A and B are shown apart, each in its own frame.
Chain A
Amino acid sequence: MRHPDLAAVLSDVRSGLVPAHVYNDPEIFALERDRLFSRAWVFLAHESEIPAPGDYVVRRVLADSFIVARDEGGGVRVMFNMCLHRGMQVCRAEMGNASHFRCPYHAWTYRNDGRLVGLPFHAEAYGGDDGFAREGQALLPAPAADRYNGLIFASLDPDAGPLRDFLGDFAFYLDFYTRQSPAGVELRGPQRWRIRANWKIGAENFAGDSYHTPHTHASVVDIGLFREPRASKRKEGALYTAGPGAGTTYKLPPGGDFETQLRYVGYPDPMIGEMAATWSAGQRALVADSGFMVSAATLFPNLSLVHNWPQIDDAGTVVPFISVRQWQPVSERETEVLSWFAVDAAAPEAFKRDSYKAYLMCFGSSGMFEQDDVENWVSITDMAGGSMARRLKLNSRMGLTGSGRPVRPPLPGFAGPGLAYQGFGEFNQRHWLAQWSDHLEAEAAAR
C-alpha cells in the first residue's frame, strides 16, 4: 500500500471514521502480517491443555505453526514446527502426548523440549560432529514466549518484553475470567470453524459493542434464555478500556453485596468464597461497590473473552459460563475461530457440567448468540470487498459529540483501572483501532 494512502486510512481511523475496505483488503492484511502479527503477543494455548509431561498442542500465529509442549521437566516449550534439515512440518497432529517428535522425511528426531537427539547415519553422512554438530541444535524456539494465569502467549519479536508489562491494567480484568481460585482455570476445546469474515470484526465486537446486543441477540431474550441483553438493561452497563484490553459489563441489581451479586449470576457459595479470597480488594469492589459484572472483552489483538449467565433448564436455573476465544486470521476475508470453554479448575463437578451446557447453548460453533454475530460479520466482510466500500467511512464515533467530547463524562467511582463510561459508546472499538493504527504505522519488523 502506498504510504500516502495508508496515512489517510490511519488518519480516518483515528478520527473514528473507518474506511470500510479495511475489513476486506489484501494490502491491509499484508500490513497486519508484517507490522502487527510480527510483533504482538498472540495467545496460543493454556497450560491446562497440556497438563502432563509430553502433552502437546499445535497452534499457529498466522501461517507459522508452533508446537506448545510440556517437556519432561514440566516446563512449557513453544517451538517452531519445522524441521531444521529440510523444513518438513515435524508434528502433523494437533494434539497428543510424545516424548519425541520424529520428522517423517529423514527421521531427524527432537525431544519434547526441542533438542535434536536423533540424526540417522550421523557418522556416515556427515562424518559425525565434524560435519554437523548436534550439540545445541533444537527446533527454533518462539522468539518470545510468556505466561499469565496459565495463558501461554508467543511473540515473533524477540524484544517483545515481559507479557505482564504488556497486559498492564488489563490483567485486573483478565483475572475475573481466568483466576477465580488459586487452582486457576481449565480450558476445554477448542471448537474450531472457519468463517468468511475479517478477523478484526469479532475482536472489535467483543471489545465493546454493547450496542448490538439488544438487537442482534433479540432472539435469545425472546426465548427466555438470557434476559440481560434487553436494551433497558444493556445500556446501564459500563464499558472500560485498560492497557491493551477493553470490555463490557452488565449493571448488577442495586444494593447487593459481593456474595449476593455472584449468587445472582449463578455461582455456588463455595466458588464465591474462593473468589473473595483470591481477588484483590479492587476486584471485589468492582462487583460489590461499583455493581458491575464483566461480560465480553478483547485483549489486543485477537483474544476475546466472554462471561454470561443464561438459564439452562425449564426451572429457570441460572448458570454462568466463560469462553476464551481467538480470531485467527486466515486471509483478509477468512478467519478461523477457536473457542474454548473455561471453568475454574476447583469448581464442583455439578457446576462444571451445568456451565458447559450454558456455554454450548450460547457461544461457540453452535451457540445461539454466536450464530447471529457471525451472520453479521460475514455480511460486512462481503460488502467491504467491493469498490463502493472505498467511498464509505463507517461512523465509529458513538459516545462522542461533534467536537469530540464524551456525551457523558467518564464514570466516577468505577473500581477498576483504566477509563470507564456507562451507556452505549464505541470508546472501546476506537481504543482497539488506535492500537491497530499504531502497529500499521510502524516499520515492518525485521525478519
Chain B
Amino acid sequence: MTGRPLSYADPAHLAAHQFLVEEAALLDAGDYAGWLGLLSEDIRYLMPVRVTTGRGAGFDVLPDMSHFDEDLYALRKRVQRLATEHAWTEDPPSRTRHFVTNVRTFRHAPSLLRVDSAVLMFRSRGDTRPADLVSAGRTDLLRETVAGLRLARREIRVDEAVLRTQNLAVFL
C-alpha cells in the first residue's frame, strides 16, 4: 500500500521530515546516545555494497555483502566504542554535516511510514586532509509509536562502488 507520496502538507510527511532533520542534528552533534533513542528495538540498519554492472545485469548492489548490516546490539556496540577513550579514529572527532533532502513519505502500513531521502555527508578530519563526501539515497521505515516516530529499518544506497572515506566510523 505504498502508492503515491503523501502531500508535503500532510502531517505524517511533516513529522517524518522533521524526524530526519532532528536525527541529522543529533549525528552532527555527536550525540550518539540520543541517536540510539530514535531506533526501534528491532532496527535493521543496512548499507549494501554498490557495484558497477551493465545496464542489463539487473542488479547494482551485492546481495550478500554490505558495509553495514546491523541490529541494535551491533549499533549499541559501535556507540559504546565511540564513547570509550580509545576510539582513535574519531578522536579528534570528524566534523560532519548531514545534508538531508528529497524527502518523500509514503503510507506503508498502519502505523508505518516509508520515507525516501537523499543524504550528502561532508566529513572533515584534522587540518591537512581533504574532506570526504559520501552521497547516498536512503529508504527508511518509520514506526509511529506513542513516544513518537522510531526508525525500524534503514537501507542506505551509497552512490559510490568504492568509498572515498577512510572508514565508516560515522552513520548515514
Contact = CB atoms under 8 A, between A and B. Distances in A.
Interface of A: 92-97, 188-196, 215-216, 218-220, 222-223, 225, 312-314, 336, 341, 356-357, 360-361, 364-368, 370-372, 374-376, 378, 382
30 contacts: A93-B52, A93-B54, A96-B53, A188-B64, A188-B65, A194-B162, A196-B129, A216-B88, A218-B84, A222-B84, A222-B85, A223-B80, A225-B77, A225-B81, A313-B73, A356-B69, A361-B74, A361-B78, A364-B67, A366-B67, A366-B168, A366-B169, A368-B77, A368-B78, A368-B81, A370-B167, A372-B88, A372-B89, A375-B88, A382-B128
A341 B54 contact: no
Interface size class of B (residues with CB under 8 A): 35 or more
Contact of A376 (B81, B84, B88, B90): B88
Contacts of B129: 196, 378, 382
Interface string B129-172: 10000000000000000000000000000000111111111000
A192 B162 contact: yes
Contact of B165 (A193, A223, A357): A193
Given A96-B53, A374-B167, A219 B67 contact: no
Given A189-B65, A219-B81, 16 more contacts: A93-B57, A188-B62, A193-B162, A193-B165, A194-B162, A219-B84, A219-B86, A219-B88, A223-B77, A361-B77, A365-B163, A366-B168, A371-B87, A371-B168, A372-B89, A378-B166
B51 A95 contact: yes
Interface of B: 47, 49, 51-54, 57, 62, 64-70, 73-74, 77-78, 80-81, 84-90, 128-129, 161-169
Contact of A93 (B53, B68, B84, B164): B53
A365 B165 CA distance: 9
A370 B164 CA distance: 15
A144 B122 CA distance: 43
Contacts of A195: 166-167
B86 A222 contact: yes
A193 B164 contact: yes
| Pairs A-B, 3 closest by C-beta atoms | A193-B163, A366-B168, A218-B86
